[in-house]
Amino acid sequence: MFGIIGGTGLASLRELKVLKRELIRTPYGEPSQPLIFGTLAKHEVVFLARHGSGHTIPPHEINYRANIWALQSVGVTRIISVATVGVIDDEVKPGTICIPDQIIDYTYGRKNTYFDGAGMPVKHIDFTHPYDEPLRKVIIHSAESISKKIVSEGVYAAVQGPRLETAAEINRLEKDGANIVGMTGMPEAILAKELNLAYAAICPMVNHAAGRGQSKNAISFSSMSEASDSDVYRLMMKDVIELIQAIISKN
Ligand code: HPA
């Protein structure tokens, strides 16, 4: 069964026919909200808003371990994560979706493994390819099948937040090889891998990163917020939902 983790701009899925809501308790505490079970494109899926139902949990305070654990405990085997990002290349127009294939992790102080605590054996997980390649292919082919233009690879820089970056930090991320920057991609990806779940991300590029393109002087908050009346934002989220429906209906 597919699990969908929604981020900013996707705190709920109107297209989901809700069957039930269930608060799951895990050894790591409670997830961001009760899991929402429902049908989408006639298939059963589970939805979770990572920032909570009222968008009140900031990226560094999300209980990522509880979220991923809860999804696995109810039978989710594949996770589609929706996570908005800033785009570093100022030639790329915000409003496009990126399906990243790599991650650089700059976060700190987050609980980023299930393999710790008293009596737990040390375990090192291979993370060469952080996203599940078959699931990435499913997403890319689904986008093709509905003629949605997407960027089919990219290096995701996972930053701590909640503040945005300085222009110099973005220059550094670019030198490191990053293309997009967001605050929630880690440790979600590694935790899913530790639990043997297929995990891939759909990243709507909602703004130019700090100092780039339209964000030369500042990042406009309206471009980043769910309450945004920006057409680009609304159309992009519509694209994201159509893409998710295409993925679910054919797989
Ligand atoms: N930086 C970090 N996280 C983000 C951004 C950004 O520019 N846009 C959306 N999430």
CA nearest neighbour of 67 among 5, 154, 12: 5
Q: For a pocket test of ligand 1, which of 104, 156, 165, 174 has the largest count of ligand atoms closer than 8 A to its C-beta? A: 165
For the CA of 208, the closest atom of ligand 1 is 7
Distance 103 CA to ligand 1 centre (A): 15
- 35 C-beta closer than 6 A to ligand 1: no
- 83 C-beta closer than 6 A to ligand 1: no
Q: Quick one: angle between helices 231-250 and 133-145, nearest 10? A: 110
Give per-residue pLDDT as tens, 187-245: 999 999 999 999 999 999 999 999 999 999 999 877 666 555 567 778 888 999 999 99
- Helix ranges (H only) for the chain are 64-73, 133-145, 167-176, 188-194, 221-224, 231-250
pTM for the whole structure: 0.95
Give per-residue pLDDT as tens, 108-160: 999 999 999 888 888 899 999 999 999 999 999 999 999 999 999 999 999 99
- 170 C-beta closer than 6 A to ligand 1: no
Atom 2 (ligand 1) nearest CA? 182
- 178 C-beta closer than 6 A to ligand 1: no
Atom 6 (ligand 1) nearest CA? 86
Q: Kindly list the structural domains of the chain, giving each domain's residue range(s) and its CATH number in brackets, ordered by start.
A: 2-250 (3.40.50.1580)
